[in-house]
Amino acid sequence: MRKSLVAASLLALTVAVAPACATKKFVRTEVGGVNQKVDTLTGTVEETQERTRQNTERIGVVDQKAEAAGKAAAGAQSSADAAGKAAAAASERANQVGTQLGGRIDEVVASSRRLVYEVTLSEDQGNFKFGGTDLPDTAKARLDEIVTSAKADPKGIYIEIEGHTDNVGNPAFNEKLGMERAEVVKRYLYEQHQVPLHKINVISYGESKPVAPNNTRDGRAQNRRVVVRILS
């Protein structure tokens, strides 16, 4: 009877412990699966963070290169602008030097020639009027005479034409007016007498070389003139 009670007790204990062991095993299995998923997610997050860090570094490098390229482009543009300004200044200077040399060459050539004829066309002789550039018939007649005389000995002739004004008005306007008067005479010699243009030199002195005082009406009339010289 005593042996039967012990056996029954052991059986009851076994029945009670078996479910508890089964529950612990299940829990351990489930916990292990969760831990594995957590580890997997942790690894994924770390990989994502690493890729983000690498991408951030690449973006920083690209930004630095873009900034450097922008600075280089700005520097190149600045250099190009400076070069353009320097080229324009050099061109302007070359033009000025060319004009100066051209004038000096003409002066040297003229100074080496012999004066053959000279005629002055001025208002006091019935020619250029105050502020005007029209060539009157009397002036044309005088030009016809000297060209006819020059054609009798046409070898190597050279014509100088000077434009002059009185001192009424500003110097810049008077210099322009003197040049216009000289050009009118040059055009007449070319169109009416076929004098080659390369044999004619014109210059304006404006009001700078008066031949009479500008404080009188007659003096101003004498100063408004064009001087034509035939050189050989």
Tens digits of per-residue pLDDT, 50-87? Answer: 877 787 777 777 778 877 777 877 777 877 777 777 76
Q: Does pLDDT of 138 surpass 70? A: yes
Tell me which of 73 and 173 has the higher pLDDT.
173
For residues 85-113, give the mean pLDDT: 58
Q: Assign 46 a pLDDT band (cuts: 50, 70, 90).
A: confident
What pLDDT score was predicted for residue 204? 94
Q: Which CATH architecture has domain 114-231?
A: 2-Layer Sandwich (3.30)
Contact (Cβ atoms closer than 8 angstroms) between residue 164 and residue 225 = yes
Per DSSP, 129 falls in state P
d(CA 220, CA 176): 17
**pTM exceeds 0.85:** no
Contact (Cβ atoms closer than 8 angstroms) between residue 110 and residue 201 = yes
Domain boundaries, given as residue ranges, for the chain: 24-88, 114-231
DSSP secondary structure letters along 36-67: HHHHHHHHHHHHHHHHHHHHHHHHHHHHHHHH
Contact (Cβ atoms closer than 8 angstroms) between residue 226 and residue 140 = no
Q: Assign 173 a pLDDT band (cuts: 50, 70, 90).
A: very high
